[in-house]
Structures are given as C-alpha cells and as structure tokens.
C-alpha cells in the first residue's frame, strides 16, 4: 500500500479502486510495537490495513459522506458560538499579540489537520484518536488517546446542552426552571444524534452553520451600528483598545487556551474520514474548513473587539444589548443543537465501533447492532446531562479537560503522527529540504503542544481554585437563570 505524502492530490474514485479492506491481512508486515499483549501485532496489522467501514449495501451506509458533506461536518465541529470568545482574547492580550497567537495556532492546527488525513490514508483502519494511540504506543496509547477523545467529546456535548439552556432562558426571560430547559436540550440532542451514520446527520451541519453565522453577524452588526457599547456605563467610558494588553499570567494563559478551543474540532476529524465516500478528498475539504474558520475568527474577533473593547459580554451574544441578545439566540438555537449532536454522535460511535468492530453486527442491522447503538446513545446523553448539572464548577472543569486534550489532539499528537510515519523513511543525510522543514515543524508542534498542555493545566487549576475562593461555584440541579450577561473573563468552548 503506497504511503500518502504531502504531495498527494485528491482524485476521483475509479470503479477499479481497491480499498484497504481488500488487502490480505497475512501479507502485511507492520513494524512490531513494543507491547507484550498477546496478539497485539496481528491486531495492529488489521488496524493498519483494513477500512473501518466497508462499502456495504445490506445495512446502513457508513461510506456515504460526500466531499461537500465532509466540509460541512468538519466546519461545524470547528465553528460555534465559541468564536465570540475571541474578542476577549484581543482585549486580554492586546491586538498585536492576540492576533499573532490566533494566526499561529491556526497555522499549527491546519498543518495538524492535514497530517491527520495523511495518517488516515496510511492506516485506513484508524477511526479515532484511540486507534492512533494503538498504532503508535500499543494498548496504553489506545486507552489514553481513546478515552481522552471520548471525554473531550462528552464534555463538549454537555457544554452544548448548557448553551442551549442559556439560549432558552434568554429568549423566555427565564420562563421556567433551568433544569427543564436542560432536560429538553438533552432529549433533543439525544434524538438528533441517534441516526447511525454521518451521512444521515450531515444535513444538521448545514442547518447549524446557516444559523450560527447569521447569529454571529447579527451581534457583530448590532454593536457596529450602536453609538456606544451596550454594556458600557453611563457617561464617559474607555474601551481600552490596546496594541499590547496588560494581564496576569493566568489571564493570558486562559486567553491562549480559548484560541486553542476554537481549533479543537480536529479531534473529531478522523471519524468523518472513515465515512467519506472518497477519503482522498479529505485534504482539500479540511483546508477549505480551516481557511473559512480562520477568516471568520479573525474578522469577527477584530470587529467586535474594536466596537466593544473591554465591554464584550459573556455570554458573548449579550454584547449587543437585551433585545439583540434574544434575537441572536433565537436564530442560533439550531446551531447550538447541531454542535452537541455531532459531539454526542462522535462519542457514541467511538464506543460502538470499539464494541462491535470485527463482527458482522457493526454494519448489519441486527438486534445486537440496534441494542448496542441505542443503549449507548441513552447512556452517553445521560452522562452528559449528569456532569453538566451535578458538577458545581462545570465551566472550570471543562476548561481543564479542554486545555489538556485540545492541546493534545490539535497540536501535540499530529506532530507525533507525522514523525511516526516518516522518521525512518530516509537516512538523515538524504532527506530533502522540504522533508527536513516538515520534520522540524512536527517536532516544534510536539514541544508547543506539550507546553500548552502543562500551562493550560496550571491555568485551569488556578481558575478552579479562584472560583472556590470567590464563592462563585454554583450548586447542582439549580433552577437559577444561567443566561445573565456578565463582562467577566471566563473560558468557553466552541459549541
């Protein structure tokens, strides 16, 4: 099987295309892993050479995602209302360092996303980051990467459940107990995530993007045409527009982690590749996604920061005043639901494939297939509901989980993936200049990713300590209104 490189270009699938699932397992001689578990080398050979889902007309179509459908699914994982946390980044760090950090992380995340696709082509059996860990580090890597991915997706879905309850509270002026809104959001998200294939839910990506973007533009235009920031005090005010900001270490790290969150969607890109009709089209799809996302991030962040300055609100759609806040949230609700639906689907599919992989039940609509899928959906939505409602410092906790795993999956691990696939390809003396540059970039990404992991962990722990010290930690299962607008700096995830 020919190794994918950065020179590969997408091509149409020919009728004679031979999928990796057609490769004879016994003919594969993978590099043995340093793992002593019985059968590991044989299992690794299977993961390296066999597609996760075969083209199968007797069951659900797990290979039906088109190129444009992939663009939409990738983009919706990346873009959410978290984009409106980026003006806070500019306010905290200042325009110059803030914009440089956005572009720097965007470049690394884009490079990493392309590497993820090349690794998937070289190892067609890779379905999630858990499989990546299995190939690179054996059983330990599978458990660490796999359950880290699962936690990130579950916490993202739980965050989406809360974001939807905030929207419903804002629109209804806290019309009922918040727990009711959380339950409604959880049920709708569970139903939306229940279709078994990405092909069946890809339309939600269209709906999500077509609702999130207008909501963002409504808020952005509203603050642009206003005489003054709606959250500014009466009388003279100072927006504190600074080229270089003055902030504490924890505040600065929190701002950087917010940018990282905006590019954390790449953790869920591998499952989309597994269900693409033509996986070779992934590179152009992900470049389209990342270029569009970055252009949106830069434009929205700079415009909102310029017009609001330090009076940017949190939640961010409150920056344009109470009426516009209601309108924007009303428009955004489909997008608020689409994001967590995809995250819940990803976490469910991870467990589903892990349980049924290698059996006929994975792609055939048997009783075992249905019982496993529906049971996992109910269990995971229940888990997301519980952690969103029971953990009194949920915002700080998801900041911790995101800081650790977003830095791993968006930056650190993609660098490791490229080095794993290429470090033994040529003797150091015969590497081309291009290859050497990519080698250095990959090594740098590992260093930067590890640094962000450690620093993000430190900042998140400090935020939790500060929340307890300030008495701002909430209580479980509260009916209190969670949509009240504040101007305090908090960590938010893309939902």
CA atoms in the 13 A half-sphere facing the CB of 339: 32
Please tell me the distance from the alpha carbon of residue 328 to that of residue 334, in angstroms, as a whole number.
11
Please tell me the distance from the alpha carbon of residue 42 to that of residue 54, in angstroms, as a whole number.
20
Find how far residue 117's CA is from the centre of its chain.
16
Find how far residue 57's CA is from the centre of its chain.
31
Rg for the chain (alpha carbons), in Å? Answer: 23
Q: Cα-Cα-Cα-Cα dihedral of 446, 448, 454, 458, to 10°?
A: -160
**For the packed helices 249-262 and 433-470, what is the interaxial angle rounded to 10 degrees?**
120
Please tell me the distance from the alpha carbon of residue 114 to that of residue 85, in angstroms, as a whole number.
26
Which residues of the chain are under the pLDDT cut of 50?
A: 7-49, 486-495
Strand partners, 314: 486
For 67, counting Cβ atoms within 10 Å of its Cβ (0-12 exposed, 13-18 middle, 19+ buried), the class is middle
Query: 198 in helix, strand or coil?
Result: helix
pLDDT digit string, tens, across residues 240-282: 888 898 888 888 998 898 899 889 999 999 999 999 999 999 9
- Residue 117, both tokens: 């696709």
- Extract the runs of DSSP E, i.e. beta strands, from 71-162: none
The whole-number pLDDT of residue 447 equals: 96
Please tell me the distance from the alpha carbon of residue 117 to that of residue 276, in angstroms, as a whole number.
12
User: Please, which residues have CB within 8 angstroms of residue 238's CB and are 6 or more apart in sequence?
Assistant: 309, 310
Answer whether 211's CB lies under 8 Å from 76's CB.
Answer: no
Residue with tokens 């033994």: 424
- The DSSP secondary structure of 401-417, one letter per residue, reads HHHHHHHIIIIIHHHHH
The whole-number pLDDT of residue 320 equals: 79
Fold of 61-470: Amino acid/polyamine transporter I (1.20.1740)
Please tell me the distance from the alpha carbon of residue 3 to that of residue 387, in angstroms, as a whole number.
42
Q: Per the omega criterion (within 30 degrees of 0), is the bond before 52 cis?
A: no
Strand partners, 65: 276
The whole-number pLDDT of residue 4 equals: 58
Answer whether 294's CB lies under 8 Å from 259's CB.
Answer: no
Query: 467 in helix, strand or coil?
Result: helix
Residue with tokens 């992991």: 453
- Residue 1, both tokens: 């099987």
Which of 112, 293, 323, 352 lies closest to 223 in space, CA to CA?
Answer: 323
Which of 48, 193, 222 lies closest to 124 in space, CA to CA?
Answer: 48
The whole-number pLDDT of residue 448 equals: 95
Answer whether 476's CB lies under 8 Å from 392's CB.
Answer: yes
Answer whether 87's CB lies under 8 Å from 487's CB.
Answer: no
pLDDT digit string, tens, across residues 276-324: 999 999 999 999 999 999 999 999 889 888 888 888 876 667 777 888 8
- Residue 237, both tokens: 């005010």
Answer whether 209's CB lies under 8 Å from 79's CB.
Answer: yes
> Domain segments of the chain: what residues?
61-470
- Residue 434, both tokens: 């291009």
């Amino acid at each position: 099987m020919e190794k994918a490189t950065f020179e590969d270009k997408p091509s149409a699938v020919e009728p004679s295309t031979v999928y990796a699932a057609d490769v004879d397992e016994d003919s594969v001689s993978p590099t043995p892993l340093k793992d002593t578990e019985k059968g590991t080398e044989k299992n690794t050979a299977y993961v390296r050479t066999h597609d996760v889902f075969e083209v199968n007309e007797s069951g659900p179509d797990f290979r039906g995602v088109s190129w444009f459908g992939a663009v939409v699914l990738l983009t919706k994982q990346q873009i959410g209302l978290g984009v409106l946390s980026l003006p806070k980044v500019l306010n905290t760090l200042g325009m110059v360092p803030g914009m440089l950090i956005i572009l720097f992380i965007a470049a690394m995340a884009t490079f990493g996303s392309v590497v993820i696709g090349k690794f998937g082509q070289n190892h067609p059996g890779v379905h999630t980051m858990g499989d990546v860990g299995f190939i690179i580090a054996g059983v330990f890597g599978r458990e660490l990467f796999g359950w880290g991915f699962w936690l990130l997706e579950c916490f993202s879905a739980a965050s989406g459940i809360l974001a939807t309850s905030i929207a419903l509270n804002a629109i209804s002026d806290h019309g009922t107990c918040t727990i009711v809104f959380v339950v409604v959001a959880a049920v709708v998200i569970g139903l939306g995530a229940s279709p078994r294939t990405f092909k069946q839910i890809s339309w939600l990506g269209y709906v999500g993007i077509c609702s999130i973007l207008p909501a963002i533009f409504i808020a952005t235009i509203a603050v642009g045409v206003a005489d003054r920031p709606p959250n500014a005090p009466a009388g003279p005010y100072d927006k504190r527009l600074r080229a270089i900001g003055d902030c504490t270490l924890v505040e600065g790290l929190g701002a950087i982690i917010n940018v990282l969150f905006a590019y954390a969607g790449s953790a869920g890109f591998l499952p989309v590749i597994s269900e693409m009709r033509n996986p070779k089209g992934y590179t152009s799809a992900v470049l389209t996604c990342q270029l569009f996302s970055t252009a949106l991030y830069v434009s929205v962040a700079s415009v909102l920061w310029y017009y609001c300055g330090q009076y940017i609100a949190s939640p961010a759609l409150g920056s344009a005043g109470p009426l516009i806040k209601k309108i924007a949230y009303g428009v955004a609700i489909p997008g608020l639901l689409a994001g967590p639906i995809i995250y819940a689907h990803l976490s469910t599919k991870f467990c589903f494939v892990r349980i049924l992989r290698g059996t006929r039940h994975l792609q055939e609509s048997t009783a075992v297939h249905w019982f496993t899928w529906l049971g996992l959906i109910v269990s995971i939505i229940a888990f997301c509901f519980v952690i969103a409602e029971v953990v009194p410092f949920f915002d700080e906790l998801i900041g911790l989980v995101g800081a650790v795993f977003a830095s791993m999956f968006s930056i650190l691990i993609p660098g490791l993936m490229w080095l794993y696939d290429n470090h033994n390809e040529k003797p150091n003396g015969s590497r081309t200049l291009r290859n050497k540059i990519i080698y250095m970039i990959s090594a740098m990404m590992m260093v930067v990713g590890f640094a962000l992991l450690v620093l993000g962990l430190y900042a998140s722990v400090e935020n939790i300590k500060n929340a307890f010290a300030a008495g701002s930690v909430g209580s479980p299962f509260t009916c209190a209104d969670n949509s009240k607008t504040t101007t305090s700096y908090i960590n938010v995830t893309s939902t």
